[in-house]
Each structure stands twice: as C-alpha cells, then as structure tokens.
C-alpha cells in the first residue's frame, strides 16, 4: 500500500506544474549570459576603439543599461529560485506530514482490518455468493441491453435503408424538380420575350390606333364641316335654282317684251315714216299756199289792172276767205299732226328708256346668271370633291374600325394567353411549394432521426460509461480482494485454483465479448454518422442547386443553425463546448442575419417571399407574425388585393423561442 501511495505521489509531483514559474532556470545560465554579455561588450569596445568618444560614451551607456537589465533579471531569477526553494521545502514538509498522516491512517486501517478480518472472513462467503448473484443479474441485464441494442441496431439499419430510399426519392424529385424548373424557366424566358414583343406590338398598335383615332376625329370633324357646307351649298343651290327659274322667266318675259318693243318700234318707224310723209305733204301744202299766195298777189296785181275795184275786192275777199279757210284747215291739221307727233315722240322716248332699262337689267341678270352658273359649276366640282373625300374618310373610318376590332381581338387573345400562362405559373409555383414542403418534411424526418440516433448514442455512451465504471470498480475490488485473499485470508476462505481461474476466465471472456460488441456498435455508429453526414452534404448541395435556380443566395447558415441544437455526440468520449467556437458561430449567425435582412429589404417582392422562412427562423418569428409578413408581401405583389389588417403590436417572441439562432 505504501509503495502504491509513493508511486502515485511521485507521478502527481511529476505531472503537476510548479507554482510561481513555468520552468526552473538553472543558476549557471545567468553567469554564462553575463559572461557572454561582457565578452560581447569587450569585443564591441575593441572594435569601436577607433570611433569617437561620443560613440564610446553612448555604447558604454547602452552596455551599462544592458548590464542593469541583466542584473535586474538576475535578481528576479534569484528571487524565483528562492521562492522555488521555499515551495520545495513546504512541499517536503507537506509530504512528510502526508506520509505521517498516511502512516497513521494505515495503522488505523490495519487495526480496523485486523478487527474486521474475522467479520470479513465470515461474510466473505455470503458476499461472494451475493456478488455471484449480482454478476449473474448484471450479465442478464447486459444480455437484455445487448438484445435491445441489437433491436435498435436493426431499427437503425431499417431507418438507414429508409433514409437511402428517401434520399433516392429526393434525388429523383430534385432531378424532376430541376427539369421542371428549367422547363418553366425556359418557358418563362420565351413567354417574357414574346410578352415583350407583344407589348411592343401593342404599343405600336396603340400608337397607330391613337393616331388613327385622331385622324378619324379630324376626318369626322372635316366630314361634319363638309356636310354643313354641303347643306349650305344645297340650300344655295336650291335658292340659285329658284333664282335661275325666276331669271329664266324674267328672260322669257324680257324677250317677249323685246319682241313687242321691236314690233312697236317697227310700228313707230312706220308711223314716223307716215308722219314724215304727212310733214312732207304739209310742207308741200305750205309751199302750195305760198305759191297760191304768190298767185293771189299776182292775180291781184293783174286784177287791179283789169277789174274794177268792187269786183276785184269781192273776188279777193272770196279767194282770201277760201285761202284763209284752207290755211286754217291746214294749220289745224298741222297742229294736230304736231301734237300727235309730239305725243308719239314722248311715248316712244318713254318706251325707249324703259326698253333701255329692261335691257340693262337683262344684261345685269344675264351677267349675274353667268356668274351664278360659274359659281354653281365650281360648287358642283367642290361638292364632287367633298363627296369623294367623304367616301375616302368613310372607307378610312371603316378600315380604322376594322383595325380597332382586330387589335381588340388580338389584345383579348393576348390577355387570355397571359392569363393561361399565369395560371400555369401559379400551378408550377404550387407544385414547387409542395415539393418544398416535402423537402422540409424530409429534413424534419432526417433531423428527428439524427436526434434519435444521438439520443441512442448518448444512452449507449452513458451505459458504457456506467458499465465501464462498474467494471473498473468491480475489477479493483476483485483485485484487492484477491490480493488480500492471497496474502492474508488463504486459511480462512480457501478457494481452489481451478475456481479462481474459471472465474477469471469467465470475466475475461465476458469483458472481451462486451468490448467486441462495443467496438462493433461504435463502428456501426461511425458508419451511420458518415451516412448522415453524406446525406446532409447531399441535402446542402440540393438546396444550393434549388436556390441557384431561384436566384437566391444559399441559406447554408440556416441549415447549420437547425443542425446546431443536436450536436454530434462522440462515440467513446464526452464533448466539451468551446467558447471561442460558440462566439464564432454567433458572429457568423449575426453576419448572416444582417445579410439576410439587408437582402430581404433590398430585393424584389418575389425574391423576398422566398426569404420569409429564413428571416422568421433567424428572428424567432411566431407563426402569426410569419403569416402576416407573407400576407403583406402578397398584398404588395398583387394589383387588386386588399391590405391586411394589423393584428395588434408585433412583439418579438423572446419568451418562448422556437429555434435558438446562436
């Protein structure tokens, strides 16, 4: 016993670090360092002999400083050596005290051992019987544990097979999903290109339509103006026709008047000729009267000579009376003719003035009629042109209406096509959501299996530790009892060498078998861990590919965060958490949280919708808060959606966090 204690104390003294300093420095080091320093200083001084005094003084000052530092270090080292000597003396005193106390305890234990020796000898048989029974019970318990572990191993094998099958199914689903995503992406690109083309065509068509509508409005305005002008021209035409009829009637009346006036003129000319003839006759009568008067005078002159006075006077009076009567008749007739001639001349002058006025009015009416005919011909040409323009505008209007109808039908077809494509995209998104839900379910199952495996591993490690401790304790007890029995209790409880060898062989065989089983189970657990790591790596790769397809940054940290609540338990030894790793993981998670929040705030609504899960996990959102965030984003993405009503103040769910993110 004393030898063992001494060995243990020596081992502890060799292993335990010395207080007061890391290592003990030998005293010769300081002397050698001082000698080397002195030699170096001497060499430096010899080499610098040719330098100036200032350099020598500075070097001497430096050397003195170095010497002072070395002396201070030497004093520190000497103090450390003195402290170590004191500690050594204290340890020697403590060792002596411990040896004395251990000797006293050993004597007391020897006395108690001698006192209890008889009791132990008596109870040894019962104790060995009880221990045999306990060992049998422990072996039965170990057999039960072995069977349980075998059943768990079989379950783990089945679960691993199921996991492999699920992994294959997930691989197939991911392959199909990638193919579908590629198809959907290709279709989306094509549809976006066609949509862009159709939008350009629609813009050009709408521009053409607006231009055509403007032209149609202008043409309709022109048409209305032309129709108004046409109505006015028709009214003017009807008025001109009436004027034309009136002028034609006036022309016929004027022609009739002209003919009558020409007839009257002819009659007047005939009358004037007759008057001229009558005037000539009157002039001839006057000439005849003058001739007769001359004859009378001549006759009077002849009668004066031949006849008597009375006869001659009577005859003269008769001739004078006849001549006076004839002259009076002729004068009356001349006066009548002059009156008739004056009246006829006045009448003719009035008729000539009226005819000249009628002629001037006829000339003015004829010129006005000519002008109106020219205007009418011009208006008829204008009306023909207006009719042609109206026909062209009507045709253009019909063409524009046809184009508008075609454009409306085309727009309806495009809208229907877009609605179909949006419905197809919504179906694809629903399928993708279903695949994501299946993926999350598989991940949850995988995490559950990992947690079950880790729990089984912990239970196994605890059982192995407890069984190992019990075996070590029992082994030590058996060794001590065997030593005691072999040294001191041979005569009290003699056991045959065969039984001892049998018990030792049975214990060794059981221990070897248990160790083999433990090694097999550890190997299986290691293989399961490898398969789980491969599955996790595969899931990470699949997740990265899915996020690349969705053009979102891979959320590896979320997966790591979800894995961190179930750390991997080592197979044979317990794990110790490192504070530096924990701080690093917290910093990484904080950086990732900052990145996710910045990405969520700066990206589009469709990309932010995929980041809701990451934000809710990192910020420990409740289900209500996550649903409210989704509804808000859906309201922002939709055109005609209703704004979601706020459900009270949103507070972070710190009291009951779901998943710790640190």
Query: For the residues 416-429, what does the mean pLDDT come to?
Result: 79
Q: Which two tokens stand for residue 596?
A: 């996710």
What is the mean predicted confidence (pLDDT) over 96-124? Answer: 80
DSSP 604: -
pLDDT over 60 at 354, yes or no: yes
Q: Are 388 and 222 in contact (CB under 8 A)?
A: no
Terminal-to-terminal C-alpha distance of the chain: 52
Name residue, tokens 């089984």: 456
Q: What is the reported pLDDT for 179?
A: 78
Encode pLDDT of 268-277 as tens digits. Answer: 778 778 777 8
φ, ψ for residue 595 (rounded to 5)?
-65, -45
- The mean pLDDT value for 599-622 works out to 76
Whether residue 412 has pLDDT greater than 60: yes
Q: Is the pLDDT of residue 567 over 50?
A: no
| pLDDT(560) > 60 | no
Residue 628 has pLDDT above 80, yes or no: yes
Average the pLDDT over 332-341 and give the result. 77
Q: How many CB atoms lie within 10 A of CB 379?
A: 20
Residue 103 has pLDDT above 80, yes or no: yes
CB of 581 within 8 A of CB of 589? no
Question: Buried b vs exposed e over 543-567: b needs ≥16 C-beta within 10 Å?
Answer: beebeebeebbebebbeebeebeee
Q: What single-letter DSSP state applies at residue 17? A: P
Q: Tell me what the pLDDT averaged over the chain comes to.
A: 71
pLDDT at 578: 46
CA distance 241 to 305: 91
635 vs 41, more confident:
635
> What is the reported pTM?
0.26
Query: For residue 3, what pLDDT band results from cuts at 50, 70 and 90?
Result: low
Question: What would the 3-class secondary structure string for 111-173 be?
Answer: HHHHHHHHHHHHHHHHHHHHHHHHHHHHHHHHHHHHHHHHHHHHHHHHHHHHHHHHHHHHHHH
Other beta carbons within 10 angstroms of residue 139's beta carbon come to 14
Question: With helix as H, strand as E and coil as C, how does 240-297 read?
Answer: HHHHHHHHHHHHHHHHHHHHHHHHHHHHHHHHHHHHHHHHHHHHHHHHHHHHHHHHHH
Q: What angle separates helix 53-306 from helix 497-549, to the nearest 10 degrees?
A: 30
Amino acid 509: pLDDT:
61
Instruction: Output helix, strand, coil percentages for the chain, rounded to the nearest 5.
Output: 90, 0, 10
Tokens of 158: 């089945």
Q: pLDDT-derived band of residue 555, with 50, 70 and 90 as boundaries?
A: very low
Residue 355: CB atoms within 10 A of its CB come to 20
Model confidence band, residue 630 (pLDDT cutoffs 50, 70, 90): confident
pLDDT confidence bin for 546, thresholds 50/70/90: low
**Which pLDDT does position 430 carry in this prediction?**
80
Res. 415: pLDDT tops 60:
yes
In this prediction, what percent of the chain has a pLDDT beyond 70? 73
- Is the predicted pLDDT of residue 606 greater than 80, yes or no? no
The reported pLDDT for the residue numbered 548 is 61
User: What does the block give as tokens for 258?
Assistant: 């002209």
Please answer whether residues 195 and 187 qualify as being in contact, where contact means their C-beta atoms are separated by less than 8 angstroms. no
Of 257 and 505, the structure prediction assigns the larger pLDDT to: 257
Query: What's the pLDDT band for 557 if we cut at 50, 70, 90?
Result: very low
pLDDT at residue 627 is higher than 80? yes
């Amino acid at each position: 016993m004393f030898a063992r204690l001494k060995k243990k104390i020596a081992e502890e003294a060799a292993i335990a670090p010395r207080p007061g300093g890391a290592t003990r420095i030998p005293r010769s080091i300081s002397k050698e360092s001082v000698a080397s320093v002195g030699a170096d200083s001497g060499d430096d001084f010899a080499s610098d002999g040719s330098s100036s005094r200032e350099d020598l003084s500075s070097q001497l000052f430096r050397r003195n400083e170095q010497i002072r530092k070395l002396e201070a270090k030497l004093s520190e080292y000497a103090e450390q050596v003195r402290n170590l000597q004191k500690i050594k003396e204290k340890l020697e005193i403590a060792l002596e005290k411990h040896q004395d106390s251990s000797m006293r305890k050993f004597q007391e234990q020897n006395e108690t051992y001698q006192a209890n020796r008889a009791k132990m000898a008596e109870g040894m048989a019962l104790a060995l019987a009880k221990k045999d029974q306990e060992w049998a019970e422990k072996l039965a318990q170990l057999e039960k544990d072995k069977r349980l572990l075998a059943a768990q191993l079989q379950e783990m094998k089945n679960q691993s097979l199921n996991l492999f099958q699920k992994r294959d199914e997930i691989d197939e689903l991911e392959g199909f999903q990638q193919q579908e995503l590629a198809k959907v992406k290709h279709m989306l690109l094509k549809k976006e290109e066609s949509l862009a083309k159709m939008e350009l065509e629609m813009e050009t068509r709408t521009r053409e339509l607006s231009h055509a509508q403007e032209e149609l409005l202008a043409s309709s305005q022109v048409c209305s103006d032309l129709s108004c002008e046409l109505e006015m021209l028709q009214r003017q035409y009807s008025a001109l026709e009436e004027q034309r009829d009136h002028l034609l009637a006036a022309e016929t009346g004027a022609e009739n008047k002209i003919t009558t006036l020409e007839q009257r003129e002819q009659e007047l000319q005939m009358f004037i000729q007759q008057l001229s003839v009558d005037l000539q006759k009157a002039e001839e009568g006057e000439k005849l009267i003058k001739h007769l008067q001359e004859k009378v005078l001549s006759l009077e002159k002849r009668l004066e000579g031949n006849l008597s006075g009375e006869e001659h006077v009577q005859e003269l009076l008769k001739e004078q009376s006849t001549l006076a009567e004839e002259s009076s008749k002729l004068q009356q007739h001349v006066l009548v003719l002059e009156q008739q001639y004056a009246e006829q001349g006045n009448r003719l002058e009035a008729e000539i003035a009226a005819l000249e006025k009628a002629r001037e009015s006829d000339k003015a009416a004829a010129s006005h009629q000519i002008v109106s005919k020219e205007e009418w011909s011009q208006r008829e040409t204008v009306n023909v042109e207006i009719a042609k323009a109206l026909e062209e505008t009507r045709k253009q209007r019909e063409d524009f209406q046809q184009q508008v109808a075609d454009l409306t039908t085309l727009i309806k077809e495009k809208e229907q096509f877009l609605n179909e494509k949006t419905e197809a995209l919504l179906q694809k998104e629903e399928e993708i959501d279903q695949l994501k839900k299946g993926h999350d379910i598989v991940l949850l199952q995988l995490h559950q299996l990992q947690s079950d495996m880790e729990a089984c591993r912990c239970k196994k490690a605890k059982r192995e530790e407890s069984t190992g401790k019990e075996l070590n304790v029992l082994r030590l007890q058996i060794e001590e009892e065997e030593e005691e029995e072999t040294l001191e209790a041979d005569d009290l409880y003699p056991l045959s060498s065969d039984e001892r060898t049998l018990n030792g062989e049975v214990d060794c065989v059981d221990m070897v078998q248990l160790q083999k089983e433990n090694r097999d189970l550890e190997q299986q657990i290691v293989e399961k861990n490898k398969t789980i790591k491969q599955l996790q790596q595969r899931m990470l790769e699949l997740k990265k590919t899915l996020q690349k397809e969705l053009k979102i940054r891979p959320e590896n940290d979320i997966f790591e965060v979800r894995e961190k609540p179930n750390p991997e338990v080592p197979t044979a030894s317990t794990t110790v958490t490192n504070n530096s790793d924990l701080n690093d993981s917290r910093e990484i998670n904080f950086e990732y949280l900052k990145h996710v929040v910045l990405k969520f705030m700066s990206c589009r609504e469709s990309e932010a919708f995929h980041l809701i899960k990451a934000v809710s996990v990192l910020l420990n959102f409740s289900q209500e808060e996550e649903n409210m965030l989704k509804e808000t984003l859906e309201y922002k993405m939709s055109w005609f959606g209703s704004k979601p009503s706020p459900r009270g103040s949103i507070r972070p769910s710190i009291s009951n966090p779901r998943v710790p993110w640190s």
